[in-house]
Amino acid sequence: MYFERWKNIETIFSNHTVDKCIFLDFDESNFVSLDNREFSNYISSDIWNQFLYQSIIKIFLNKDKIEVVKYNDLQQKKKLKESSFLFQSHKNNFTLKNLFLSFFNFFDKSNYEYLIYKSSIGFKNELNLSLKFNQFPLFF
């Protein structure tokens, strides 16, 4: 994905003259995903795509040719969540299993020290192991 966008920008800059580029003033911390599901949500959004292109263009274009426009932080977070395919597809899918697993996703994962991914030790053992690390399990 990054490589494809890099090649697109590289082609534009090698074949055309770019005089100016307008960037949105993003808070970069909003684009750090805390788990696989969140990352999948982000990559399907237009705002994340804009952020990715901007980060690549910075490499090719001088800073004096970049104009930065203020962008509302709350709107940025809202766009990231609303425009995602996964967010929309799971919005109306209320099964008991999804409800139970989503319970664990309400906890703040940013302070987690360990990631247990596809452990194959079973739900109960993974839950116990996570609790021993003072964190809740992550289910993708």
Write down the pLDDT at residue 55.
92
Comparison of pLDDT for 64 and 106, the residue scoring more: 64
Q: Residue 54 is encoded by which pair of tokens?
A: 């901007």
Report the 3 state secondary structure along the chain: CHHHHHHHHHHHHHHCCCCCEEEEECCHHHHCCCCHHHHHHHHCCHHHHHHHHHHHHHHHCCHHHEEEEECCHHHHHHHHHHCCHHHHHHCCCCCHHHHHHHHHCCCCCCCCCCCCCCCCCCHHHHHHHHHHCCCCCCCC
The pTM of the full predicted model, rounded to 2 decimals, is: 0.54
pLDDT, one tens digit per residue, over 25-80 is 888 887 887 777 778 777 878 888 889 999 999 999 999 999 998 877 666 666 66
Q: How is the chain split into domains, by residue range?
A: 1-93, 94-140
Model pLDDT, residue 26: 84
